[in-house]
Amino acid sequence: MAELSKEVLLTAEQLAKRIEELAEEISRDYQGRTLTAVCILKGSFVTLADLIRKLTCPVSCEFIRVSLSDENDTPREVQYTTPFEIAGKDILLIEDILDTGVTLNYLINQLSESGPRSLRVLVLLDKSEARKVEIEADYTGFKIPNRFVVGYGLDFNERYRELPYITWMKS
């Protein structure tokens, strides 16, 4: 049975420091523009909440969800919590973790069709060993080993999103 590790992979302090660095970089890159930060639910809500409070450029927040097909884990459709304008906007997709890359690859293709002015991706965690689709984020929080991690928004069967740090499940 999967069990929570007692060790910590990334502390709350490490996460806060890195989010602040990313927010500084993004604020510089988007100077003079209004950013549309798009939170990919559910895992990214903590990253989004912490990031936007450190930005110095104007930002609007949107929320989307990708539903996966029942048979396998391939994306089926993008669900918008409320529809929002993509055409002509500076879109920054916020994802908790880049694993195989299938989800982000699908989303980038979908959103590109609506003609954003720019489309970039921020991922908090990158498990590059697990990649099946060639894809790199524009902003990456941490590269991590290929383990199933939880905390800071990330879940295992809807548990552990509330942890202020990131740890992993022991199988």
Instruction: Report, as residue numbers or ranges, the catalytic residues.
Output: 99
Q: What is the DSSP letter of 82?
A: S
Least CB distance to ligand IMP at residue 135 (A):
8
Give the nearer residue to ligand IMP in terms of CB position, either 88 or 164. Answer: 164
> Could you give the CA distance from residue 34 to residue 41 in angstroms, rounded to a whole number?
22
Least CB distance to ligand IMP at residue 88 (A):
27
Identify the residue among 22, 39, 94, 149 touching ligand IMP (CB under 6 A).
149
Q: Does 116 bind ligand IMP (CB under 6 A)?
A: no
Give the nearer residue to ligand IMP in terms of CB position, either 58 or 145. Answer: 145
The interface region with ligand IMP, picked from 4-12, 24-32, 47-55, 144-152 by CB under 6 A, is: 144-152
Least CB distance to ligand IMP at residue 113 (A):
19
Q: How many residues bind ligand IMP (CB under 6 A)?
A: 14
User: In 11-50, which positions are buried (b, 16+ CB within 10 angstroms) versus exposed (e)?
Assistant: eeeebeebbeebbeebeebbeeeebbbbbbeebbbbbbeb
* 40, 123 Cβ separation under 8 angstroms: no
Give the nearer residue to ligand IMP in terms of CB position, either 35 or 97. Answer: 97
Subset of residues 3 to 62 that bind ligand IMP, contact rule: CB under 6 A: 43
> Could you give the CA distance from residue 120 to residue 90 in angstroms, rounded to a whole number?
8
What does DSSP say about strands 35-40 and 90-98: parallel, antiparallel, or unpaired?
A: parallel
Least CB distance to ligand IMP at residue 1 (A):
17
Subset of residues 92 to 111 that bind ligand IMP, contact rule: CB under 6 A: 95-103
Token pair for 156? 């295992």
* 63, 38 Cβ separation under 8 angstroms: yes
What torsion do the CA atoms of 163, 22, 59, 158 make, to the nearest 10 degrees? -20
Positions touching ligand IMP (CB under 6 A) are 43, 95-103, 148-150, 154
